[in-house]
Amino acid sequence: MSRCEFFTGTRVAPEGPDVAPVEEEPLFTNLDIFLFSLIVGLLVYWFLSRKKSEETIPEFKRLTPRETSFIEKMKKTNRNMVVFYGSQTGTAEEFCGRLAKDAQRYGMRGMSADPEEYDMSELPRLAEIDNSLAVFCMATYGEGDPTDNAQDFYDWMQENGEDLKGVNFAVFGLGNKTYEHFNAMGKYTDKRLEELGGKRIYDLGMGDDDGNLEEDFVSWKEQFWPAVCEHFGVEATGDDTSIRQYELVVPTDINMNKVYTGEMGRLKSFETQKPPFDAKNPYLATVAVNRQLNQAGDRHLMHLELDISGSKIRYDSGDHVAVYPVNDVSIVNRIGQILDADLDTVISLNNLDEESNKKHPFPCPTTYRTALTHYLDITNPPRTNVLFELAQYATDPKDQDTLRKMASASPEGKGLYQSWVLDAQRNILAVLEDMPSLHPTIDHLCELLPRLQARYYSIASSGKVYPTMVSICAVVVEFQTSTGRTFKGVATNWLKNKVVVTDNGHKATVPMYVRKSQFRLPFKASNPVVMIGPGTGIAPFMGFLQERGWMKEQGKDVGETILYFGCRRRNEDFLYQQELEEFEKAGVLTQLNVAFSRDQEGKVYVQHLLKKNKEHLWKLIHTDNAHIYICGDARNMARDVQNTFYDIAEEVGGLTHTQAVAYIKKLMTKGRYSLDVWS
């Protein structure tokens, strides 16, 4: 009801006092006065409460809406260069930040930006800003797909034909040559922006993560900046001094309830869990099962089951589970010891650029201990930009020169970085230990180190059969480096030590969320399925088999289900042997083909078994509409298997090599040849 309606309905004069008054009687009776007072009181109460509520509402209206116009932001903050990133694991975002930070050394004023947060249809308006430039650091995800945060921008490029005349651009792609669609997103962005009328000011850079992605980026960057200077007629300042992006703030009045303790986004999210769960709000799943799969050998292969009861998380066979690991406590403590730092100091690193969307490099306020344990990557070899910035803290001139040389694009510097850092697998702790004169401030080190990223695993269970449980199959990464140190994979070693119930009776937990995948069983259950997954590549196929078994129980017509699995030795690492043999016995698994590479004199791999069954495989593929699935190592196995299918198409199908390649490519396009691989 509106205010006018309310007043109209209550301000009608009472009939009694206005009709035939008697002189000797008072104008108002006590009852009239009481009723009148009551009405006035109610009106006053209503008016004040209404006013109070109206005063409260504008507080929400006054909240500043998120700025979706990067053009207006650039104009407001006097920027002329914007660097967008398409990033799945954080590397492209990191490269983007480095370019934006370097801009001031080359006469430009840059800002980094997530395309998901801005209206990318405004790209043509970039021409409104003098001497402006858009740079794109675009990673390729999966089978040539854009990363999650670049999907909308990719759709816009595909669907729109807007004129980008006057828009200057450059693209650096991040990919991996072992994948079928190497740098597809970088190539497409570069090509499409030119088709729309944009002006490329420097050639497309293509980073290869199978080689040395850091070296590829540094080499591209070394040539990119001179091209920028030449195009815009600006000069490099020549200033190579360190530029801090964040300032250290040590709060004096600390409310520990507002200090982050490892949460990814929302404060206290691990204490009060609220769906939906995603990368910024992971679910704290309890570990229900953690068992070793292999009976012998020098490796530890494990099967974990995470309980997701009550989380409302849904998953399908073939999806991935992302887990947020925790760094080794001993490494964290040793870094604090070397840097003479009180790791329990509460700090905040605040962006010096007040207009930046990224206020902190990781959730703040927090402690150094939490940052080094939960938020920062302290295990992988540091990138060249970190070494360059750290050089200023080395008191030995030789150490300074070595660090700066490794950060340079010179052949000698690249070679030194490759051998001393990458080949030796030196993490930041090893660098500090092997260069005693290097003693950086801990806050600057925390600013420089990249974020610790979630680790993704193919789910080894079916959501239809186990809706409240997510299974993981993984091998624990551990090996000796050339310096005599033991390198331990962050996530797998952390998961290995997740006992189901701790000594104090608490259940072990893992922060996780589910990421959807295109690795899917055929829509028609009657379609034959050929699964190829050596080692832990068997993971998604355990889910597939569970689901095919469930379909059979539902009375559905389930087609042939064939598995090619490979391991070293039958009595050593035949993963899920009992389960697989039971699937075979029940008729769910039509064929179980296992290649034991080291149980005989000559090594036997899955591709050798495929070749043995080439006639039947060709019939399934060419006549029976079979779907092929490959999971595991991209560098060797997936490539060898694909070459084997080319051979089968030539030898049995009678195709030429060119026709065979085209045939398999067509299967990929139709979704009948799917890959879930890693390198």
Which residues have a catalytic role annotated? 458, 631, 676, 678
Count CB neighbours of 286 within 10 A.
17
To the question of whether residue 139 is assigned a binding role by annotation, the answer is yes
The answer to whether 415 and 283 are in contact (CB under 8 A) is: no
The answer to whether 653 is annotated as binding is: no
What is the separation of C-alpha 510 from the centre of its chain, rounded to a whole number of angstroms?
17
Secondary structure (3-state) at 616: helix
- ω into residue 226 within 30 of 0, thus cis? no
- 456 known member of a binding site: yes
430 is an annotated ligand-binding site residue: no
319 is in an annotated binding site: no
Q: Give me the DSSP letters along 513-581.
A: EEE--S----SSTTS-EEEE--GGGGHHHHHHHHHHHHHHHTT-----EEEEEEES-HHHH-TTHHHHH
* 672: helix, strand or coil: coil
304 appears as a binding residue in the annotation? no
Rounded Cα distance, 157 and 193, in Å = 8
Contact 309, 502 (CB under 8 A): no
- Is 170 annotated to bind a ligand? Reply is no
In our burial notation (b when 16+ CB lie closer than 10 A, e otherwise), range 184-200 reads bbbbbbbebbeebebbe
274 is in an annotated binding site: no
**Residue 678, class by beta-carbon neighbours within 10 Å (0-12 exposed, 13-18 middle, 19+ buried)?**
middle
Which of 649, 673, 645 minimizes the C-alpha distance to 659? 649
- Structure tokens of 7? 């007043």
Residue with tokens 């006469």: 107
Task: Please return the burial class of 43, using the count of CB atoms within 10 Å of its CB with bins 0-12, 13-18 and 19+.
Answer: middle
State yes or no: 209 annotated in a binding site. yes
- Residue 378, helix vs strand vs coil: coil
E-assigned strand segments in 157-270:
168-175, 199-200, 205-208, 246-249
Q: Is 362 annotated as a binding residue?
A: no
Is 142 annotated to bind a ligand? Reply is: yes
Please give the DSSP secondary-structure letter assigned to residue 79: -
Q: Is 473 annotated to bind ligand?
A: yes
Tell me which DSSP letter residue 600 carries: S
Give which of 610, 637, 631 is closest to 519, Cα–Cα: 631
Q: Is 536 annotated as a binding residue?
A: yes
- Are 112 and 97 in contact, with CB atoms under 8 Å apart? yes
Cβ neighbours of residue 126 under 8 Å, at least 6 residues apart? 71, 82, 132, 134, 166, 167, 168
Is there a binding annotation on residue 669? no
Is the preceding peptide bond at 365 cis, omega within 30 degrees of 0?
Answer: yes
Give the Å distances, CA to CA, from 441 to 332, 337, 382: 15, 12, 16
- The answer to whether 149 touches 139, Cβ cutoff 8 Å, is no
Q: Is 4 annotated as a binding residue?
A: no
The two structure tokens encoding residue 478: 């551990």
How many helices and strands in the chain, by DSSP H and E?
A: 23, 23
DSSP string, 106-134: GT--EEEE-GGGS-GGGGGGGGGSTT-EE
Question: Is 140 marked as a binding-site residue?
Answer: yes
Look up residue 577 and give its amino acid.
Q
Residue 51 annotated as binding? no
Distance of CA 670 to the CA centre of its chain: 27
Question: Is residue 598 a known part of a binding site?
Answer: yes
Q: Please tell me whether 491 is known to bind a ligand.
A: yes
Query: Which of 139, 102, 170 is closest to 384 using CA atoms?
Result: 102
| DSSP E strands, 193-254 | 199-200, 205-208, 246-249
584 vs 591: CA distance, rounded Å: 7
490 is in an annotated binding site: yes
To the question of whether residue 487 is assigned a binding role by annotation, the answer is no
Query: Does 543 count as an annotated binding residue?
Result: no
Answer yes or no: is 90 a known binding residue: yes
273 annotated as ligand-binding: no
492 is in an annotated binding site: yes
Measured in degrees and rounded to the nearest 5, phi and psi for residue 369 equal -60, -45
Any binding-site annotation on 346?
Answer: no
Question: Is residue 177 marked as binding?
Answer: yes
For residue 92, say whether it is annotated as part of any ligand binding site: yes
Asked if residue 88 belongs to a known ligand binding site, the reply is yes
Q: Is 597 annotated as a binding residue?
A: yes
Is 202 annotated for ligand binding?
Answer: no
Find out whether 89 is annotated in a ligand binding site.
Answer: yes
Q: Please check if 417 is assigned to a binding site.
A: no
576 is in an annotated binding site: no
- Note whether 168 and 198 are within 8 A (CB): yes
Binding-site residue set for FAD: 455-458, 473-475, 489-492, 678
User: Binding site for FMN: which residues?
Assistant: 87-92, 139-142, 174-183, 209
Annotated binding site: 87-92, 139-142, 174-183, 209, 299, 455-458, 473-475, 489-492, 536, 597-598, 603-607, 640, 678
Which residue positions form the known binding site for NADP(+)? 299, 536, 597-598, 603-607, 640
